[in-house]
Amino acid sequence: MTYIDLNMVRAGVITHPQQWEFCGYNEIQMPRKRKGIIDFDRLVDLLGFENYDDFETGSSGKENKWTQSIAVGSKTFIEEVKESLGFRAKDRKIVCAGDTFELREVPAPYGKAGQPDSGNTFLWGQQPSS
């Protein structure tokens, strides 16, 4: 990482990696604020929770819609979010969850455990079929 971050310094384009927005230096030194687009202090206050931890876990445990969805809200809001994502919304589905809607990625398992595809196997001592 140091090598890449110093490329533009060595080339004389900048004097410090902090000046080059496309290297990883700034991301390491000043990581993006998690959940940066939501004013969580205000949200926690509006919903009547004491603090963020109480809000996140709620009274009956963590609600999956807040941690597993890309967006949660009205159908119109979710459709607008999906449209604004453009090609990045590929394979993301709008799911009705009670009185709200969620934009989610459909979970897709990576193969089936214990069931290898016969086309991907090779039996020792046998000639492959052509």
- Spell out the domain ranges in the chain: 1-32, 36-62, 63-106
Q: Note the pLDDT of residue 126.
A: 59
- Please give the model's pTM, rounded to 2 decimal places: 0.39
Q: What is the DSSP letter of 18?
A: G
Q: Note the pLDDT of residue 12.
A: 87
How does pLDDT run along the chain (130 residues), one tens digit per residue? 556 778 888 888 889 888 888 777 877 777 666 656 677 778 778 888 887 777 666 654 556 777 778 888 899 999 998 998 888 888 888 989 888 899 887 665 555 545 555 555 555 665 655 5
Q: Note the pLDDT of residue 60.
A: 45
| 105/115 Cα distance (integer angstroms) | 24
Q: Return the structure tokens found at 58.
A: 């709620």
Please report where in the chains the tokens 């971050």 appear, as a residue.
Answer: 5
Helix, strand, coil shares of the chain, percent, nearest 5, are 40, 10, 45
